[in-house]
């Protein structure tokens, strides 16, 4: 029986999970697949966990349409830990790490690398108040580039790359935390990408890293083993105790995504859902003001402002009493943000568009 008092959840992450997934996990919670104990109580060395772990890796590669030659790693520490692990593994002393700055998470990634070696800002939209994605070409990269790092979708600001940039032979690394599984992309252009699970993949607690095996071979062997991507690859992410339950929840979300018709179908729905809200913003004669350059707008994180902060506060308060959750912009930028990840149902976006129209009519 479906729970009926669920709110319209637009949280930026941790974020909405499919109700079917929550219910399936609830059913399995105490007695996992008839084993007589919970998955939370099971050894990560058991065959059950090993199989679930392997199945999750295979499912992800298949949904992402990646051929053989890529490893899926399940790691802890959130996406932020990847900001440091990436340069630890790949920023050799004679090389330079290249970064594109498109928002505050991109800047954090760049800052972490700066502690560890030589860095270069290949492009930035900071001067433009993060309103879009800057052009990037091979001419912008430094010589001896170890890699170029981009943040494919900027969760706080609400922008995303319309296309994967061309960077020639330089290894491309992507932060896909609020991007993964949201649209069809040729992911073979990346040497590595990573995502904290807590948006489109599952709960907080596991970070997924997908890395090309041939690039992995070039990683440093002079850092502690627990920091090496190769340790996780060699041991199938069972070098130490992984976040088993978070991986299990991710497994269920991936099966759900498959049953929805896969990434292509999710992309179609995401564009339609976000379109409902962007259409209200654009037709509001300036009552709602979109923040991002329309060509770079994200379908995952939709950001906008109202005429003044008092009106924004009223919008948030009223939205909460109308059953909406998580519409306040990030504390660093203010304004409003609706995060419409894969698991946010069409009805939630329809309800938000209707609420926005009504609010504008009453306050415009
Ligand atoms: C694009 C992006 N990168 C990195 C992070 C940081 O992730 P975590 O909190 O898992 O370290 C986030 C979190 O929202 C994010 O949206």
pLDDT digits (tens, 9 = 90+) for 268-304: 999 999 999 999 999 999 999 999 999 999 999 999 9
Q: Is the CB of 342 under 6 A from ligand 1?
A: no
The rounded mean pLDDT for the chain is 97
Ligand 1 site-directed mutation target among 153, 175, 179, 196, most atoms within 8 Å of CB: 196
13 assigned to some structural domain: no
Average pLDDT over residues 106-123: 98
- Looking at the fold, whether 349 and 218 belong to one and the same domain comes out as no
- Tell me, what CATH number does 283's domain have? 3.90.1150.10
276 assigned to some structural domain: yes
Average pLDDT over residues 158-177: 97
Q: How far apart are CA 179 and CA 153, in angstroms?
A: 6
- Residue 206's pLDDT is 98
Average pLDDT over residues 118-124: 98
What percent of the residues of the chain are helix, what percent strand, and what percent coil, each to the nearest 5? 40, 15, 40
- Residue where one domain finishes, among candidates 232, 259, 286: 259
Domain that holds residue 240: 22-259
Q: Residue 339: which of 163, 198, 172 has the closest Cα?
A: 198
Q: Which atom of ligand 1 is found nearest the CA of 77? A: 11
User: Which amino acid residue places its CA nearest to atom 2 of ligand 1?
Assistant: 177
- Residue 190's pLDDT is 98
User: Which amino acid residue places its CA nearest to atom 1 of ligand 1?
Assistant: 177
- Looking at the fold, whether 75 and 195 belong to one and the same domain comes out as yes
> Residue 126 above 70 pLDDT?
yes
Average pLDDT over residues 177-196: 98
% the chain with pLDDT above 70: 99
Q: Is the CB of 77 under 6 A from ligand 1?
A: no
* Total count of domains within the chain: 2
> Residue 238 above 70 pLDDT?
yes
- Looking at the fold, whether 310 and 234 belong to one and the same domain comes out as no
Q: Which atom of ligand 1 is found nearest the CA of 12? A: 14
- Looking at the fold, whether 243 and 317 belong to one and the same domain comes out as no
Q: Could you tell me which residues are annotated as the binding site?
A: 45, 79-80, 105, 155, 175, 198, 240-241
Q: How far is ligand 1, taken at its centre, from the CA of residue 17, in Å?
A: 17
- Looking at the fold, whether 230 and 328 belong to one and the same domain comes out as no
2 assigned to some structural domain: no
- Looking at the fold, whether 159 and 287 belong to one and the same domain comes out as no
- Looking at the fold, whether 251 and 272 belong to one and the same domain comes out as no
121 assigned to some structural domain: yes
- Looking at the fold, whether 244 and 330 belong to one and the same domain comes out as no
> Residue 33 above 70 pLDDT?
yes
pLDDT band at 1 (very low <50, low <70, confident <90, very high): low
- Residue where one domain finishes, among candidates 259, 284, 307: 259
pLDDT band at 108 (very low <50, low <70, confident <90, very high): very high
- Looking at the fold, whether 359 and 336 belong to one and the same domain comes out as yes
Q: Is the CB of 13 under 6 A from ligand 1?
A: yes
Average pLDDT over residues 309-323: 97
Q: Is the CB of 178 under 6 A from ligand 1?
A: yes
Q: Is the CB of 78 under 6 A from ligand 1?
A: yes
174 assigned to some structural domain: yes
Average pLDDT over residues 67-93: 97
- Looking at the fold, whether 245 and 276 belong to one and the same domain comes out as no
Ligand 1 site-directed mutation target among 101, 155, 202, most atoms within 8 Å of CB: 155
pLDDT band at 67 (very low <50, low <70, confident <90, very high): confident
- Looking at the fold, whether 236 and 278 belong to one and the same domain comes out as no
Average pLDDT over residues 331-350: 96
- Looking at the fold, whether 133 and 92 belong to one and the same domain comes out as yes
Report whether 23 contacts 29 (CB < 8 A): no
pLDDT band at 144 (very low <50, low <70, confident <90, very high): very high
Average pLDDT over residues 44-68: 96
- Tell me, what CATH number does 173's domain have? 3.40.640.10
> Residue 3 above 90 pLDDT?
no
- Residue 332's pLDDT is 87
* Per-residue tokens: 143: 């010589």
Q: Residue 153: which of 181, 127, 129 has the closest Cα?
A: 181
Average pLDDT over residues 248-265: 98
35 assigned to some structural domain: yes
10 assigned to some structural domain: no
Q: Is the CB of 79 under 6 A from ligand 1?
A: yes
Q: Could you tell me which residues are annotated as the binding site for L-glutamate?
A: 45
Q: How far is ligand 1, taken at its centre, from the CA of residue 24, in Å?
A: 27
Q: Could you tell me which residues are annotated as the binding site for pyridoxal 5'-phosphate?
A: 79-80, 105, 155, 175, 198, 240-241
Q: How far is ligand 1, taken at its centre, from the CA of residue 211, in Å?
A: 18
Residue that has been written with the tokens 């995303």 in this structure? 160
* Backbone angles phi and psi of 17, in degrees to 5: -115, 150
Average pLDDT over residues 120-146: 97
Average pLDDT over residues 123-144: 96
Report whether 176 contacts 72 (CB < 8 A): no
Q: How far apart are CA 21 and CA 41, in angstroms?
A: 20
- Residue where one domain finishes, among candidates 212, 242, 259: 259
* Per-residue tokens: 272: 């339609």
Q: How far apart are CA 8 and CA 179, in angstroms?
A: 21
165 assigned to some structural domain: yes
* Per-residue tokens: 229: 């991507």
């Amino acid at each position: 029986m479906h729970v009926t008092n669920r709110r319209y959840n637009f949280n930026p992450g941790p974020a909405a999970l499919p109700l079917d997934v929550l219910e399936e996990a609830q059913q399995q919670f105490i007695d996992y697949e008839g084993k007589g104990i919970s998955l939370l109580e099971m050894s990560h060395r058991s065959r059950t966990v090993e199989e679930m772990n392997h199945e999750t890796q295979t499912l992800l590669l298949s949904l992402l349409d990646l051929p053989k030659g890529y490893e899926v790693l399940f790691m802890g520490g959130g996406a932020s830990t990847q900001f440091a692990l990436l340069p630890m593994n790949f920023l050799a002393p004679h090389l330079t790490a290249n970064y594109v700055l498109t928002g505050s998470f991109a800047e954090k990634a760049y800052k972490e690398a700066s502690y560890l070696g030589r860095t270069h800002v290949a492009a930035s939209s900071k001067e433009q108040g993060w309103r879009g994605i800057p052009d990037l070409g091979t001419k912008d990269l430094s010589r001896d580039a170890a890699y170029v790092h981009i943040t494919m979708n900027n969760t706080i600001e609400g922008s995303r790359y319309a296309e994967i940039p061309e960077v020639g032979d330089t290894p491309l690394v992507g932060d896909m935390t609020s991007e993964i599984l949201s649209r069809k992309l040729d992911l073979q252009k990346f040497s590595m990408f990573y995502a904290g699970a807590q948006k489109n993949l599952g709960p907080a607690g596991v970070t997924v890293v997908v890395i090309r095996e041939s690039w992995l071979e070039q990683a440093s062997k002079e850092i502690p083993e627990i920091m090496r991507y190769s340790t996780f690859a060699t041991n199938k992410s069972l070098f130490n105790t992984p976040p088993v339950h978070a991986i299990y929840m991710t497994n269920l979300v991936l099966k759900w995504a498959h049953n929805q018709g896969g990434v292509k179908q999710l992309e179609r729905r995401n564009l339609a859902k976000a379109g409902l809200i962007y259409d209200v913003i654009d037709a509001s004669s300036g009552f709602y003001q979109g923040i991002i350059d329309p060509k770079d707008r994200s379908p995952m994180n939709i950001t906008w402002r109202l005429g003044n902060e008092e009106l924004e506060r009223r919008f948030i308060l009223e939205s909460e009493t109308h059953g909406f959750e998580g519409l306040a912009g990030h504390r660093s930028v203010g304004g409003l943000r609706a995060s419409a990840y894969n698991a946010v149902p069409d009805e939630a976006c329809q309800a938000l568009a209707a609420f926005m129209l009504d609010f504008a009519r009453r306050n415009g």
